[in-house]
């Protein structure tokens, strides 16, 4: 059933699409799955034999800041948000963690904010419970990169104690090397020094951490694909194979309204913007060609869908 608010959203969408000259009026707009998932806090679907569940951790309401996108102004950013029917008074960045059940194991990709970054995030544990995911049954946590919104959920706020001591934690070797190098502080802006110190105080000492080097199988059915640029070791994962493939694209882009539509825009979070953009275009072209389902950490619920070419950029079509 389509309620009034959805009907209004679609009307606005059609107008925005006409103004942009795009062909897909509904791509950025709430699907029935998105509305259902938003109410529940999670969304489950199948990719072949694999059960995928995306679980919502919350949002960060980021005030506008001229430094956020290096090659787009605040006005251009606001216009891009408005063009897809989003509020333009701030940038709302969601956090969504992907789980897969594969080979009888429950695997989690990244670990959420741990409620340590934004007053509006930290809902992962309660939404996992709502989704029927037993925290103690998680066998493996596969990490894409070491930004706080992806790893703080591994560590308790005050003590840094492990939140999942019984799970194996798989991390990209290149990410481990970068953040734990003694020279990292000279390479990083001061705002990242606290993060580097926290990483150095935790992950290298944890006995349940396994490093995966470059493109390699992590477990049967899950392959790591280096996609460096967002960070020194940012890694995405291909799950399953062939037509029944899930691509877990993590921070290949931040929110799609800005960075899938404008893949050439460089978010301040991308450490090496040129490499990040090259990988973004390469990976999006791959999922378009393969018709693969993808998930994005900052895509909001349902957090998964397909990409389509849309003019100079890409349009995200959520799963339904």
Chain residues binding Zn ion by CB under 5 A are: 147, 149, 251
CA dihedral 206, 212, 214, 215 (to 10 degrees): -150
Whichever of 149 and 308 has its CB closer to Zn ion, that residue is 149
Whichever of 22 and 96 has its CB closer to Zn ion, that residue is 96
The least CB distance from residue 56 to Zn ion, in Å, is: 14
The least CB distance from residue 247 to Zn ion, in Å, is: 16
The least CB distance from residue 257 to Zn ion, in Å, is: 16
User: Does a cis peptide bond (omega within 30 degrees of 0) precede residue 43?
Assistant: no
Whichever of 251 and 277 has its CB closer to Zn ion, that residue is 251
Q: Which two tokens stand for residue 302?
A: 């349902």
How many Å apart are CA 169 and CA 206, to the nearest integer?
Answer: 9
- CA dist list (Å): 224 to 70, 180, 256, 274, 292: 29, 21, 23, 21, 16
- CA dist list (Å): 167 to 120, 160, 170, 197: 27, 16, 9, 23
Taking Cα atoms as reference points, which of 247, 241, 259, 252 lies closest to residue 293? 247
The least CB distance from residue 95 to Zn ion, in Å, is: 7
Taking Cα atoms as reference points, which of 158, 163, 197, 194 lies closest to residue 181? 197
The least CB distance from residue 278 to Zn ion, in Å, is: 19
The least CB distance from residue 110 to Zn ion, in Å, is: 8
Taking Cα atoms as reference points, which of 45, 93, 77 lies closest to residue 244? 45
The least CB distance from residue 320 to Zn ion, in Å, is: 25
Phi, psi of 240 (to 5 degrees): 80, -160
Q: For residue 114, give every residue at least 6 positions away whose Cβ sits within 8 Å of its Cβ, in sequence order, or none.
A: 122, 124, 152, 153, 154, 155, 156, 157, 163
Whichever of 147 and 286 has its CB closer to Zn ion, that residue is 147
Whichever of 102 and 234 has its CB closer to Zn ion, that residue is 234
Helix ranges restricted to H, 41-107: 74-83
> Contact 232/181 with Cβ under 8 angstroms?
no
The least CB distance from residue 186 to Zn ion, in Å, is: 24
How many Å apart are CA 10 and CA 17, to the nearest integer?
Answer: 10
Whichever of 26 and 188 has its CB closer to Zn ion, that residue is 188
How many Å apart are CA 293 and CA 3, to the nearest integer?
Answer: 27
The least CB distance from residue 109 to Zn ion, in Å, is: 12
Whichever of 22 and 231 has its CB closer to Zn ion, that residue is 231
Whichever of 37 and 250 has its CB closer to Zn ion, that residue is 250
Whichever of 43 and 147 has its CB closer to Zn ion, that residue is 147
How many Å apart are CA 107 and CA 139, to the nearest integer?
Answer: 6
């Amino acid at each position: 059933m389509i309620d009034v608010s959805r009907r209004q959203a679609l009307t606005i969408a059609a107008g925005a699409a006409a103004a942009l000259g795009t062909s897909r009026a509904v791509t950025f707009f709430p699907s029935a799955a998105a509305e259902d998932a938003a109410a529940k806090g999670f969304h489950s679907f199948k990719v072949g034999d694999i059960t995928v569940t995306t679980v919502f951790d919350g949002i960060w309401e980021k005030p506008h800041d001229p430094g956020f996108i290096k090659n787009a102004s605040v006005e251009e950013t606001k216009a891009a948000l408005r063009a897809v029917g989003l509020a333009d008074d701030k940038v709302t960045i969601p956090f969504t963690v992907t789980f897969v059940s594969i080979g009888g194991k429950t695997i989690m990709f990244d670990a959420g904010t741990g409620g340590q970054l934004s007053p509006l995030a930290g809902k992962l544990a309660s939404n996992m419970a709502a989704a029927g995911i037993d925290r103690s049954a998680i066998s493996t946590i596969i990490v894409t990169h070491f930004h706080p919104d992806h790893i703080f959920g591994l560590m308790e706020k005050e003590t840094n104690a492990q939140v999942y001591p019984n799970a194996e934690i798989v991390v990209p070797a290149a990410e481990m090397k970068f953040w734990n190098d003694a020279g990292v502080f000279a390479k990083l802006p001061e705002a990242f020094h606290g993060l580097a110190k926290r990483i150095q105080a935790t992950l290298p000492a944890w006995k349940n951490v396994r490093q995966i080097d470059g493109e390699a199988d992590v477990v049967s059915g899950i392959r790591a694909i280096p996609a460096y640029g967002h960070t020194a070791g940012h890694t995405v994962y291909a799950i399953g194979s062939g037509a029944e493939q899930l691509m877990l694209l993590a921070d290949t882009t931040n929110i799609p309204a800005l960075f899938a539509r404008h893949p050439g825009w460089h978010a301040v979070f991308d450490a090496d913007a040129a490499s990040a953009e090259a990988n973004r275009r390469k990976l999006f072209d791959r999922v378009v060609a393969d018709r693969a389902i993808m998930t994005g950490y900052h895509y909001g619920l349902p957090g998964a869908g397909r990409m389509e070419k849309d003019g100079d950029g890409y349009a995200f079509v959520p799963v339904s």
